Amino acid sequence: MKHFVQLTLAATILSVGTLNGAAAEERILPVPAVTIYAGDTIQESMLKDRAFPENYRYRTAVVESPRVLAGKMARRTLLPGEPIPMNAVDDPKLVTRGVQAQIVFEEGGLSIMGVGIPLQSGTMGETIQVKNVDSGRVITGRVQADGRVRIGVY
């Protein structure tokens, strides 16, 4: 009888240890709660947490924090319940290739504004080339938070 009690106690401890081990072997990742289409801006309300086994193999590196995703733009369709690859999201484009943008040169008290055609899309802080509409010259500038392109000294 004593041996039976010891075996039962050992089995109970082993099963509790296995349950705790199983809980520790899960990874919680943010996944879309709804379908997110390419070009959509991701908001935290569009995401939910989902547990994945620790040994689950992903095809590419995946985003592990919902804070990283907030405000980003989807580069392709993201399906509900699936992990989000890091290369599937990008910073939102403030300047779009081929769409007129305001170009600004400021130095000291001098401020010159004009219109240009970006030759590439750009996110905030990115250096891009812009064709000046008035002169036809291609100039380099940095995208600002308000969507303007600042040329000259940044």
| Nearest residue to 93 (alpha-carbon basis) of 55, 122, 126 | 122
The verdict on residue 9 lying in a domain is: no
* pLDDT greater than 60 at residue 8: no
What is the spatial distance between Cα 16 and Cα 39, in angstroms, rounded to a whole number?
47
Does residue 101 sit in the same domain as residue 145?
yes
Span 2-26, average pLDDT: 51
Could you report how far apart the first and last alpha carbons of the chain are, in Å? 83
Does residue 47 sit in the same domain as residue 85?
yes
- Where does a domain end: 39, 57, 90? 90
Amino acid 7: pLDDT: 43
Amino acid 4: pLDDT: 47
pLDDT in tens, 90-102: 988 999 999 999 9
The verdict on residue 11 lying in a domain is: no
β-pairing verdict for 26-32 and 73-74: unpaired
pTM of the model: 0.62
The verdict on residue 7 lying in a domain is: no
Does residue 100 sit in the same domain as residue 81?
no
Buried b (16+ CB within 10 A) or exposed e, 115-140: ebbbeebbeeebebebeeeeeeeebe
Where residue 47 sits, what CATH number does that domain have?
Answer: 3.90.1210.10
Which residue would you say has higher pLDDT here, 25 or 113? 113
Task: Look at the chain and report how many structural domains it folds into.
Answer: 2
Does residue 98 sit in the same domain as residue 141?
yes
The verdict on residue 12 lying in a domain is: no
The verdict on residue 44 lying in a domain is: yes
What is the spatial distance between Cα 54 and Cα 1, in angstroms, rounded to a whole number?
40
Does residue 75 sit in the same domain as residue 112?
no
Determine the 3-state secondary structure of 115 from DSSP. strand
Position 24 confidence tier, pLDDT thresholds 50, 70, 90: low
Q: 104: domain range?
A: 93-151
What is the spatial distance between Cα 95 and Cα 129, in angstroms, rounded to a whole number?
11
Does residue 42 sit in the same domain as residue 86?
yes
* Distance set, CA 137 to CA 94, 106, 110, 122, 133 (Å): 22, 18, 21, 19, 8
Amino acid 154: pLDDT: 61
Does residue 58 sit in the same domain as residue 99?
no
The verdict on residue 8 lying in a domain is: no
